[in-house]
Amino acid sequence: MAALALIDDEPLVRESFARLLSSRDHATTCFESAEDFLKSAERGGYDCLIVDFRLPGLSGCELIRELRSQSVTTPVILLSGNVDESVSAQLEGITEVCTLDKPCLSADLFAMVDSCTQVSG
Amino acid sequence: MNAPDSQHRRDVAQLTIDQCRDAIFWHRGPQIVYVNEQACRSLGYTREQLESMTLDQIDDGLEPEAKRAIMEQILRDGSAVFETINIRSDGSRFPVELSVTAHEIGDEILFCGIARDISARKETEEKLFASQRALQHKIHELELTERRSILAMEGGRLGTFEWIPSQDEGHASDSFYRLFGQKPGDVPPTYRSFVAQAYPDDLPRIERVFGIGRLRRRPIAMETRIVWPDGSIHWIEIRARFAYAETGDPIRLDGVMVDIDEKKSAEKRLDARQHELRLALDASQMGTFEWDAQDNRIVYSAQTNRILGYGVTAGVSHVEWFIRHIHPDDYFMIRRSIARVRRSREYHHLEHRIIDAAGRTKWIEIRGQFVYDSDDRVTHMRGVVADVTLRKQAEEELQLRRFAVDAAAEAMFTIDLDGFIVDANLVACDRLGYTREELTGMKITDVSASERSASFHESVAETRQQGGRMHIGRHRRRDGGIIDVEITARVFEYRGQEYICASARDITELKEAEQRLRNLDQQLAHMNRISSMGEMASTIAHELNQPLAVIANNASLLELGDSADDIDDFKTLTQTISSQAVLAGGIVRRMRGFCLNKAPTEARVDLREVIEESIRLLAPRLRHAFVAVDTKLQTDCQVTVDRIQIQQVLVNLIQNGIDAMSAVPESRRQLSVSVHSRDRFIRISVTDTGGGIDAENAKRLFEPFHSTKASGMGMGLPISRSIVEAHNGRLMFDNTTTDSTTFHIDLPLPNFESSG
């Protein structure tokens, strides 16, 4: 059981991910945008962050950079429709980030969440 | 008789026989036993040959029946003379007179035939028969002629008479009386009775002619009038001759009288015709001439003389006088023409120049005909001549004008008000593939692929009303090809008749160029849409991934049995899956529809749908750019447009608006789309709060490749404007406020489209 944060602008997407993760007994807190998340007090208290690549306002990548600059080292799963060169370029130099295709198989999501939470401790 | 003596006599006899001009045959029955030299010569055989032949082989003149009869006669009378035909060795035949005698020599009967060639005699006989036949024919003809003349006389046209001057009494045929309108024997044919019926004006002449005939012994021949008892006047011709006694006194006048009423009335008619002809010639200013081959002189009328520039009298001159006036350039042409006409016996018809007495060049038209005698020699030429200078000048002027009309670049037609082509220039002929002769027999509706007869009359009425008219039409070539033409028509009047002069400019190439341009526009518009789509690609991919992620996650939940106990939750999950799938399908459909490359097709559409569709297509971009959208759409927004193209214009304008607002705070990013109908058009307005367009950009806004965006192609607005203008609309922008920009799309309302 891990404490997760999910940042996505689409309510139905948030809801479905949250339900899926709760089926594996993960507690998921949802945020609508990067800005909302950054404003939250517990932004450093999660085991893993699941962030949508494309967000209104600050993008997924910008959010991770901002967190790292604030020394928040929580592992991040970046949800992306298609990871191409431009995405890879934006992720260059950022640690503790892995990407997951969206949509994805639940097994892949669970495996990735498990590996992230085990590493972090 | 001793042997030498006998031998000598035999030799002499043989010689005599051989020298004889007749052929001699001795035969026993039909078998020839001896022939003389002449027989061999005339038949073309040797003696040996003949003496082994039978008579049948050389005779071809007698039937077996006749032969038997002759043989009987010979045996009964001892001799017979008859004619037959002999055959020579070469098969030719000749007539012979054969005299055959029978002789008892020893105990047998031998026949001696003497044959004389009678070819010459036969020929003479033939000739005699022929001339006899001819004579009989002549006699027969004479009889016929006589019978005919009797018939003619009895028909009343010809009467014969004899008159005894000393007693003033005479005899006459029955028809003679009829010539005088009397019954035969009514009045005795006396000079008195003749004079009594003479036409009073002719009487002095009758007396003079009869007097001269009597005294000078000349035959009387005169035409005179007589008055019938019923008062009618008739023409007769009298031919008579006096017979004289040895004393010199006339004892009898024999004569014939002929009814010449018909001839006289024909002559009268001819006179009238000649008079009419003269009048006609005078009226048409035609001169006449007659050339006599014998003395090479020309008799000419006063008008001919006038045409040549002399006085007004008729005259006679040597032909050289006329030739002198021929224009030197035309001389040989005339010579050739005359030579040809003389041979071919055609009508001589020529137009050529002359130089008249005053040195002026004139055009004359000559029509004439050679007259030939019975030996085919030319005796005369008669003809008429007219001065056609004015006509020729007019023709030349017309020809010059025709050159000009033919040289025109446009096809030109002159059409009467019934639609018949009266004239067409060369361009018209070449372009349509007809000859001028063919075209001028046709109706304009025959070559017009766009105009029917009914509408032709309408357009004529319109053209007349306005004095001229310009419209686009189509012409059909003879080979069926279609030419697009721009027709300029105007009405003109010529000699009280109205005509239409129409010039047709070939605008096929123009049309084709327009079509190519339209195709190019379509391609460009499509490229613009694809490019718009490219700009939106990442947002759209994301947009699509959202519902797909929801579907995938919900499906996983179902699979994991998360809602196995809760039937309502199960339903919610599956319903979400369905609606998200439909949402994803909608995104794909909108995208695909927007990217289609199809020829513009106009249809009635509701602009509200088009606007909503465009906003939906751009929803992810709008959301990610934090742009708030509000729409003010009135209820009735029906227009006839190409849906995709108008959507494209909207997408371009909305995208521009989003881009324009990227620099302003999120809270002030506001995009408004409204639709409302104005007077004659419907207006779509797209307003952004992007801070307006500066004056420099405003000037170049619709220029191609002008863009303020780093990634922009600069084609969005030019293409949008051309699309709106293709719909007979206008695309404008309103830049009056500093913090916002509004683009207006004005589209004509259906009712006003036609006048647009």
| B168 close contact with A: CB closer than 8 A | no
Q: What is the least distance, in Å, from the CA of B585 to any CA of chain A?
A: 16
Q: State residue B754's pLDDT score.
A: 42
pLDDT band at A84 (very low <50, low <70, confident <90, very high): low
What tens digit of pLDDT does each residue of B67-125 get?
A: 888 888 888 888 888 888 888 988 888 888 888 888 888 888 888 888 888 887 777 77
Q: Which amino acid would we find at residue B488?
A: T
| B541 close contact with A: CB closer than 8 A | yes
Q: State residue B756's pLDDT score.
A: 35
Q: What is the C-alpha separation between B614 and B582, in angstroms, rounded?
A: 18
Residue B308 exposed, middle or buried by CB count within 10 Å (0-12, 13-18, 19+):
buried
Q: What is the C-alpha separation between B62 and B82, in angstroms, rounded?
A: 10
Nearest to B290 by CA among B380, B197, B390, B198: B380
Q: State residue A3's pLDDT score.
A: 92
pLDDT of A4 over the 90 cut: yes
Which CATH number applies to B514-752?
3.30.565.10
Domains, in order of start, for chain A: 3-120 (3.40.50.2300)
Q: State residue B153's pLDDT score.
A: 53
Q: State residue B5's pLDDT score.
A: 66
Residue among A23, A82, A105 minimizing CB distance to B557: A23
| B574 close contact with A: CB closer than 8 A | no
Q: State residue B548's pLDDT score.
A: 92
Which CATH number applies to B284-393?
3.30.450.20
User: In terms of CA atoms, which chain B residue is nearest residue A13?
Assistant: B550
Specify the CATH superfamily of domain B3-117.
PAS domain (3.30.450.20)
Q: Do A57 and B562 touch (CB under 8 A)?
A: no
Which residues on chain B are in Cβ contact (under 8 Å) with A19? Answer: 553, 557, 562
Q: State residue B549's pLDDT score.
A: 92
Q: Do B550 and A82 touch (CB under 8 A)?
A: no
Helix spans in B167-301 (H): 174-179, 191-197, 203-216, 261-283
What tens digit of pLDDT does each residue of A17-75 get?
A: 999 999 889 999 999 999 999 999 888 889 999 999 888 888 889 999 999 999 898 99
Q: What is the C-alpha separation between B652 and B647, in angstroms, rounded?
A: 9
Q: State residue B580's pLDDT score.
A: 92
Residue among A12, A19, A56 minimizing CB distance to B623: A56
Residue A91 exposed, middle or buried by CB count within 10 Å (0-12, 13-18, 19+):
buried
* Contact of B287 with B301, CB cutoff 8 Å: yes
Q: Do B556 and A81 touch (CB under 8 A)?
A: no
Nearest to B322 by CA among B339, B334, B340, B336: B334
SS3 B677: strand
Q: What is the mean pLDDT of residues A80-104?
A: 78
| Other residues' Cβ atoms within 10 Å of the Cβ of residue B641 | 27
Segments making up each domain of chain B, as ranges = 3-117, 155-265, 284-393, 408-503, 514-752
Residue among B552, B623, B625 minimizing CB distance to A103: B552
The architecture in CATH of the region B408-503 reads 2-Layer Sandwich (3.30)
Q: State residue B712's pLDDT score.
A: 62
| Other residues' Cβ atoms within 10 Å of the Cβ of residue B451 | 20
Q: For the stretch A24-50, what's the b/e string if a residue is b when 16 or more beta carbons lie within 10 angstroms of its beta carbon? A: eebebebbbbbeebbeeeebeebbbbb
Q: What is the C-alpha separation between B469 and B291, in angstroms, rounded?
A: 60
Intervals of chain B under pLDDT 70: 1-6, 16, 142-157, 270, 279-283, 451-454, 704-705, 709-714, 751-756
The architecture in CATH of the region B155-265 reads 2-Layer Sandwich (3.30)
Q: State residue A36's pLDDT score.
A: 93
B363 phi/psi in degrees, rounded to 5: -100, 130
Q: Do A54 and B539 touch (CB under 8 A)?
A: yes
What tens digit of pLDDT does each residue of B348-361 get?
A: 888 899 998 888 99
* Fold match between domain B3-117 and domain B514-752: no
Residues in A lying within 8 Å of B, measured between beta carbons: 9-10, 12-13, 16-17, 19-20, 23, 53-57, 79, 81-82, 102-106
Query: For residue B40, what is the enclosing H or E element?
Result: helix B37-43
